[in-house]
A and B are shown apart, each in its own frame.
Chain A
Amino acid sequence: MGAGPAGGGAREDYSGLVLWLPGPSYGTLCRRVLSLTPIAGWARVWCLDGMKCLVTGGNVKVLGKAVHSLSRMGDELYLEPLDDGLSLRTVNSSRSAYACFLFAPLFFQQYQVATSDLDTLRCKIQMKSFLSVFRSLATLEKTVEKCCISLSSRSSSLVIQLHCKYGVKKTHNLSFQDCESLQAVFNPASCPHVLRAPARVLGDAILPFSPALAEVTLGIGRGRRVILRSYQEEEADSTVKAMVTEMSIGEEDFQQLQAPEGVAITFCLKEFRGLLSFAESANLPLSIHFDAPGRPAIFTIEDSLLDGHFVLATLADLDPHLQYLGSPELPRTAPQLQAHSSSQLDDFASDDIDSYMIAMETAAGSSGSRAQPPISLSPGFQTSHDPSLHADEEAEPSTVPGTPPPKKFRSLFFGSILAPVHSPQGPSPVLAEDSDGEG
């Protein structure tokens, strides 16, 4: 810093404004000053080196809901203040799903980020710890008036202060780890297919599905109807088949439907429910951008104060049974779809059980057991995983899972901000600029 002029003064240097003041020198530790509060002849300097955000009113609950939504996906929350707002991100353990909520500065009563070194403001916190602050949404709504999240460059804990009614103040100190920026490389604009509907429409659409259902297939069927169908992986040696549930919705319920008949993707329903429940509570429309099976599907919501992006991997191989969603050349073209919508066509043409029955009788023979004749089930899926391309996002050498995820979902490629982009989707806008090399 150096000694300043004896009488006090100010000097601008490359890192901001530094003030030398008579009396107690508040300013000596700060590299950038944000506000001055003149008090009785002394200039009181308040310096921020870090981040401070203040959320008030109903937005506290919104923030809480976003955290709940993220908690359904991943075990760690990545918090990073950016110029365009505060981002909260997570990724699931098999790297097949990524979620990001970005809260614009206007979402906050105060949003202040001041640091010379952006790297120090990125942190990774245990999701459980972060969630515990916002665990009871009802309590948040009733008692919390303000929520202040602050992070100092120098400390190793994130401080969340809840200012509640009756002067109660709850302070949470959450320890965190430094990390690199978590980013998934994706671009909704590069997806050829889009559909958009009020969250409520989609919420109603998934009601018939069991809460335990892991995966669902979304596609466009005959008559431009949007079809959601339960997806269950066939186990080769399993004789117990699962119930198949299908919901078909008319095109008119969608604000935008830009996809031809026959396209379909299969993704994790559980992770989708996370964003859907947030969108329903915020009463926002939800957009789904998707491409061919195997390419990630991007689910987005936005309004003037926030936006959310969930990127979910999709199954690379489509269940052959699903191929009937529109493609005419397969033998079992689905009179079913038509039959459901017009009862006049409801005949028994598709109820071809007789041939099955005959086969049953002759195959059973003398065994007396209720063995099913061998129906060939859909061929087992090839596990498709992306073996190579995810970069460390830890600062320190850590055990980033290098083994392919056991699930059949392709793990999303995460472009490290430092590594060259090998994205299969080509160069795409990254969310934050490279932080290598500060001026």
Chain B
Amino acid sequence: MKFRAKIVDAACLNHFTRVSNMIAKLAKICTLRIRPDKLNFILSDKLASGGVSMWCELEQENFFSEFQMEGVSADNNEIYLELTSENLSRALKTVQNARTLKIKLTNKYFPCLTVSVELQLSVSSSNRIVTHDIPINIIPRKLWKDLQEPLVPDSDVSIYLPVLKTMKNIVEKMKNISNHLVIEANLNGELNLKIETELVCVTTHFKGLGNPPLASQSCRDRSPGELTEVHIEIKKLLQFLAGQQVNPTKAVCNLVKNRIVYFDLLHEDVSLQYFIPALS
């Protein structure tokens, strides 16, 4: 099992750093799946994550100038490894001035993902070499089935999200009042965030958001004004919103009544799907 890759472009390095910062905010420990054509950051919906799951995908050739991998075996040409996401984002943060970045799978004292760069701060200084060895756990083949791309359920309503920063500020304030909120939307471009306690109800209305083209027949049968609602934990929504430091290229929210909310985001060429289950 081998993996090694190289980034030589500053813009690609910045973008990769932003992706890893986002992942670090969304999942403390996540799975990295390496395939010849793509990389995935995966969080599966186990008890530990409270039922939240995440699927992030990027095309490796958009980032790496060199990319070589050899999976577990010829017919299972993939690598699944588990790491603490903060380690990766911290490692990348310290190497922003580098010209080239190398990542590879190593087994120094324990299996690691080694990130290394060469830095030259000025003409007169020597070449500095910075290496970060990020400890990883190799995930055995028998567990791979739990880490596959999630089946996306048919949504009752799909709607484009408002500016995420605004949404985050509002949800942050709501968090002080209630632990859970109701997110509801319709096909008329209206999205509401509602919280309700014994003393107070607060609703924030977003209008004019627009809806993506209708995907399924069931959507077409609905009356446009009909609101679909899902009841979720505020903390989970907030964690998702906090991870979006940059406004995405595309952001869609999908609601399946009383079952799940899932967000479908595109940050330039990196796609992110984030699933928050409904509270029972």
Chain A contributes a number of interface residues (CB within 8 A of B) equal to: 43
- Point out the residues of chain B lying under 8 angstroms from A249, CB to CB: 126, 128
Could you say which of B100-108, B181-189, B209-217 contacts chain A?
B100-108
Given contacts A207-B94, A250-B127, contact A245 B132 (CB under 8 A): yes
- Point out the residues of chain B lying under 8 angstroms from A388, CB to CB: none
CB distance from B38 to the nearest CB of A (A): 21
B121 at the interface (CB under 8 A from A): yes
Instruction: Give the distance in Å from the alpha carbon of A201 to the alpha carbon of B129 in the complex.
Output: 13
Could you say which of A31-39, A264-272, A276-284, A348-356 contacts chain B?
A348-356
B130 at the interface (CB under 8 A from A): yes
Contacting pair B132 A241 (CB below 8 A): no
Q: B110's contact among A357, A364, A375, by CB below 8 Å, is which?
A: A375
Contacting pair B133 A243 (CB below 8 A): yes
CB distance from A115 to the nearest CB of B (A): 50
Instruction: Give the distance in Å from the alpha carbon of A364 to the alpha carbon of B139 in the complex.
Output: 11
Contacting pair A351 B2 (CB below 8 A): yes
* Chain A positions 188-240 with a Cβ under 8 Å from a chain B Cβ: 201, 204-205, 207-208, 210, 225, 240
Contacting pair A243 B90 (CB below 8 A): yes
Q: A354's contact among B1, B94, B118, by CB below 8 Å, is which?
A: B1
Contacting pair A360 B87 (CB below 8 A): no
What are the interface flags for A345-370 relative to B under an 8 Å C-beta threshold, 1 for contact and 0 otherwise? 01010111110110011001000101
- Point out the residues of chain B lying under 8 angstroms from A353, CB to CB: 1-2, 105-107, 111, 138
Contacting pair A364 B140 (CB below 8 A): yes
Instruction: Give the distance in Å from the alpha carbon of A233 to the alpha carbon of B121 in the complex.
Output: 31
Q: B126's contact among A243, A251, A351, by CB below 8 Å, is which?
A: A251
Given contacts A352-B107, A360-B138, A370-B137, contact A248 B121 (CB under 8 A): no
B271 at the interface (CB under 8 A from A): no
- Is the contact region of chain B dominated by helix, strand, or loop, or is it mixed? strand
CB distance from A379 to the nearest CB of B (A): 13
Contacting pair B132 A208 (CB below 8 A): yes
Contacting pair A336 B125 (CB below 8 A): no
What are the interface flags for B155-168 relative to A under an 8 Å C-beta threshold, 1 for contact and 0 otherwise? 00000000000000
Contacting pair B135 A340 (CB below 8 A): no
Instruction: Give the distance in Å from the alpha carbon of A244 to the alpha carbon of B115 in the complex.
Output: 10
CB distance from A234 to the nearest CB of B (A): 10
Contacting pair A368 B130 (CB below 8 A): no
- Point out the residues of chain A lying under 8 angstroms from B127, CB to CB: 250, 341
Interface centre among B102, B127, B130 (most CB of A within 10 A): B130
Contacting pair A245 B142 (CB below 8 A): no
- Point out the residues of chain A lying under 8 angstroms from B118, CB to CB: 340
Instruction: Give the distance in Å from the alpha carbon of A247 to the alpha carbon of B117 in the complex.
Output: 10
Instruction: Give the distance in Å from the alpha carbon of A245 to the alpha carbon of B87 in the complex.
Output: 10
Q: B129's contact among A248, A252, A357, A364, by CB below 8 Å, is which?
A: A248
Given contacts A208-B94, A244-B133, contact A253 B140 (CB under 8 A): no
Contacting pair A356 B121 (CB below 8 A): no
B82 at the interface (CB under 8 A from A): yes
> Chain A residue with minimal CB distance to B3?
A351
- Point out the residues of chain B lying under 8 angstroms from A321, CB to CB: 109
Contacting pair B140 A346 (CB below 8 A): no
Given contacts A210-B90, A346-B102, A364-B142, contact A341 B130 (CB under 8 A): no
Instruction: Give the distance in Å from the alpha carbon of A225 to the alpha carbon of B133 in the complex.
Output: 19
B131 at the interface (CB under 8 A from A): yes
Given contacts A246-B131, A364-B142, contact A350 B106 (CB under 8 A): yes
A304 at the interface (CB under 8 A from B): no
A344 at the interface (CB under 8 A from B): no
- Point out the residues of chain A lying under 8 angstroms from B201, CB to CB: none
Contacting pair B91 A247 (CB below 8 A): no
Contacting pair B138 A248 (CB below 8 A): no
B259 at the interface (CB under 8 A from A): no
- Point out the residues of chain A lying under 8 angstroms from B143, CB to CB: 368, 370
Contacting pair B130 A208 (CB below 8 A): yes
Given contacts A246-B131, A360-B140, A370-B140, contact A241 B110 (CB under 8 A): yes
A372 at the interface (CB under 8 A from B): yes
What are the interface flags for B212-243 relative to A under an 8 Å C-beta threshold, 1 for contact and 0 otherwise? 00000000000000000000000000000000
- Point out the residues of chain B lying under 8 angstroms from A204, CB to CB: 121, 128
CB distance from B2 to the nearest CB of A (A): 5
Contacting pair A368 B142 (CB below 8 A): yes
CB distance from B42 to the nearest CB of A (A): 14
A242 at the interface (CB under 8 A from B): yes
Q: B138's contact among A243, A250, A251, A356, by CB below 8 Å, is which?
A: A356
Contacting pair A351 B135 (CB below 8 A): no
Assuming A246-B131, A372-B137, what are 20 further A-B pairs, CB within 8 angstroms? Answer: A204-B121, A204-B128, A225-B129, A240-B84, A242-B135, A243-B87, A243-B90, A245-B131, A245-B132, A246-B133, A247-B129, A247-B131, A250-B125, A250-B128, A253-B126, A332-B108, A348-B2, A353-B1, A353-B107, A370-B143
16 contacts between A and B (CB under 8 A): A208-B94, A208-B132, A241-B110, A244-B108, A244-B109, A245-B130, A246-B129, A247-B128, A250-B125, A250-B127, A321-B109, A350-B107, A351-B2, A364-B142, A368-B143, A375-B110
Q: Which residues of A contact B (CB under 8 A)?
A: 201, 204-205, 207-208, 210, 225, 240-253, 321, 332, 336, 340-341, 343, 346, 348, 350-354, 356-357, 360-361, 364, 368, 370, 372, 375
